[in-house]
Amino acid sequence: MKGTVWIAIIMLGIVSAMPAGAEMQWSVLGTIPLEDTPKDIAISRDGTSAYVLAEQSILLVSLQENKVSDKIPLAEPFERIALSADESSVLLTKPQSRAITVLQIAQVYDIPAGKSPVIGSPKAPVSVVAFLDLQCPYCARLYPTLQQLLAKYPNDVKLIIKHYPLPMHRFAEKAAQAVLAADKQKKYDALLEVLFANFNKLNDQTIAQYAQEAGLDMKKYNKDMADAAVAAIIAADKQLAQQLKVRAVPTLFVNGTAAKARSIEALSQMVEQAKQKKK
């Protein structure tokens, strides 16, 4: 027997505040068929997903698409469900039990490389996707760790940087354009390293200066800086960040799984796990 979740929007008003003759209005937005009987529900912080505790499973429901997108089977029945603050865990309880069961959860995304340059071996089985801002001090601090990871796994890891310049950083978008223009002269890595090393000195003049010092043909560089294809890559990166609910930089994904820790040890462990899954 299939259970059904009814999703309704109800317009409510406090009785004392409602004008005379006002009526409460409500409407059913739709139904989502389930393969298991629902018992409790927890809503994600951004309101786009619901975790439905059912008799034999936890169903992840997309409230944007009105469908079940994933399922976690349960070996025993539970009565209530709640999400941790960072949504990395679900907490489950049973009636008359003095214990809470905590399940760690992680969504695995299929993140396309798109037209972003690839650093490292394009055939590497493990893809590290990094959403970075070239004026961000935390991104600048992380970049040597990413270089260290590439050096440690030269045949296993490739790095794909998605440029996510924040509005508060005035020259971050121009810096992103500069490294993408440099990629057309095969100097993406070289300029990227220089800009991160000087993240707190970036402006219109210094970005051009660093490009020249990196050995770029400045006539071609200036032409490529104005190329609509370069701007399109950055626009696509921003859109992808929104789709993946990236809230801050730096944000890393290792084969589609968000990295909670960013030390070389933690990232190496994720790489090893990803390698094992590939095997």
Distance CA 19, CA 39 (A): 37
Give me the pLDDT at residue 29, please: 79
In this structure, is the dihedral angle defined by the CA atoms of residues 165, 169, 170 and 172, taken in order, positive or negative?
Answer: negative
- Tell whether the model's pLDDT for residue 10 goes beyond 50: no
Per the CATH hierarchy, to which homologous superfamily does domain 118-278 belong? Glutaredoxin (3.40.30.10)
Q: What is the DSSP letter of 88?
A: S
What's the DSSP call for residue 184?
T
User: Residue 89: pLDDT above 70?
Assistant: yes
Q: What is the pLDDT of residue 138?
A: 98
- Residue 90 DSSP class: E
The tens digit of pLDDT for each residue in 219-231 reads: 999 999 999 999 9
Query: Considering only 33-37, 123-127, 192-196, 200-204, which range has the smallest mean pLDDT?
Result: 33-37
> What are 149-154's contacts with CB under 8 Å, separation 24+?
149/264, 149/267, 149/268, 149/271, 150/119, 150/120, 152/264, 152/268, 153/124, 153/126, 153/268, 153/271, 154/120, 154/121
Does the pLDDT value for residue 6 go beyond 80?
Answer: no
pLDDT at residue 21 tops 90: no
Return the pLDDT at 1: 36
- Residue 64 pLDDT: 86
Average pLDDT on 1-23 reads 50
Q: Given this model, what pLDDT does residue 213 score?
A: 94
Give the dihedral of Cα atoms 9, 14, 18, 22; nearest 10 deg. 40
pLDDT, greater one: 30 or 185: 185
What pLDDT digit, counting tens, does each position of 128-167 carry? 999 999 999 999 999 999 999 999 999 999 999 999 999 9
pLDDT at 87 over 90: no
Q: Is residue 12 left, alpha or beta, with left meaning phi > 0 and alpha meaning psi from -120 to 50? A: beta
| Secondary structure element (H or E) that encloses residue 38, with its range | strand 38-43
CA distance 267 to 91: 26
| pLDDT on residue 95 | 86
pLDDT for 106 equals 82
Distance CA 26, CA 12 (A): 8
For 146, the token pair is 């990413």
Domain spans, the chain = 4-11+26-104, 118-278
Same fold, 4-11+26-104 and 118-278: no
Q: State pLDDT tens for residues 189-233.
A: 999 999 999 999 999 999 999 999 999 999 999 999 999 999 999
Query: What pLDDT does 18 receive?
Result: 56
Largest Cα separation within the chain, whole Å, is: 76
When pLDDT is averaged across residues 62-76 and rounded to a whole number, the result is 91
Give the pLDDT of residue 88. Answer: 84
Please give the residue that has the higher pLDDT: either 46 or 168.
Answer: 168
Residue 259's contacts (CB-CB under 8 Å, 6 or more residues apart) are 252, 253, 266, 267, 270
Q: Determine contact, residues 53/80, Cβ cutoff 8 Å.
A: yes
Q: Residues near 21 by Cβ (< 8 Å), separated by ≥ 6?
A: none
Of 21, 20, 22, 24, the C-alpha closest to 12 is: 24
The pLDDT assigned to 60 comes to 93
The CATH architecture to which 4-11+26-104 belongs is Beta Barrel (2.40)
How large a percentage of the chain has pLDDT more than 70?
Answer: 92
3 state SS of 274? helix
Q: The whole model's pTM is what?
A: 0.77
